[in-house]
Amino acid sequence: MIKYVIRINWLNYAHLKHTGEAFNSRTILAKGSGQITGTLGEMAFGRWLTDLGIDFEYCADDSKNYDFLIGDYRIDVKTKKTHGVPKSNYMVRIPDSQKNQKCDLYVFAYCNDHDIYLLGFSEKEDFWESIGHSVIAGQKTETHIERVDATFAYVKDLSELERLEFILSKQGGSDDC
């Protein structure tokens, strides 16, 4: 797990990008407020890539399917607002409505009021077919009642970012968002 402190310029940028509207009918948080959290997660992942010297294209403004393009990998960052420091038994989830998203990898992040934690990653196929557990809207999980049909995994089941660093460091940049 990698921690970044939320910088004021990151927060300002996330608020500027926030549209105040839901992206679609499946958006859970009111007035699309999850966009702020999502942008902060994307910024932390972009910082991680930059710190490692990995070239990337940021595509979130042009693609609804993925946020980053690194070589042949289309990567979507999934960020959840939380409190405190994430633990290995915490869950990450993706609404089932996003199952057909055109991406190759998911990077998962947690965001509290001060910090962003890059938790790990999963190949899309592994998330939906191996490590994920299905839940339906209205079902009670360990922490809350699900709002939409979704698939979740535990943080401990994600692959470590060091492995992702190895995979991505072998990729060339691309200009094709």
Other Cβ atoms less than 10 A from the Cβ of 156: the count is 12
The whole-angstrom separation of Cα 87 and Cα 60 is 28
Look up tokens 């690194």; give the residue. 70
Look up tokens 């994430």; give the residue. 86
Q: How far does Cα 146 stand from its chain's mean position?
A: 18
User: Of the candidates 146, 134, 155, which has an alpha carbon nearest to the alpha carbon of residue 92?
Assistant: 155
- Using only the alpha carbons of the chain, give its radius of gyration: 15
Mind listing the pLDDT tens digit for each residue in 113-132?
999 999 999 999 999 999 99
CB 37 within 8 A of CB 81: yes
Mind listing the pLDDT tens digit for each residue in 150-175?
999 999 999 999 999 999 988 755 55
Mind listing the pLDDT tens digit for each residue in 27-66?
444 555 668 899 999 999 999 999 999 999 999 888 889 9
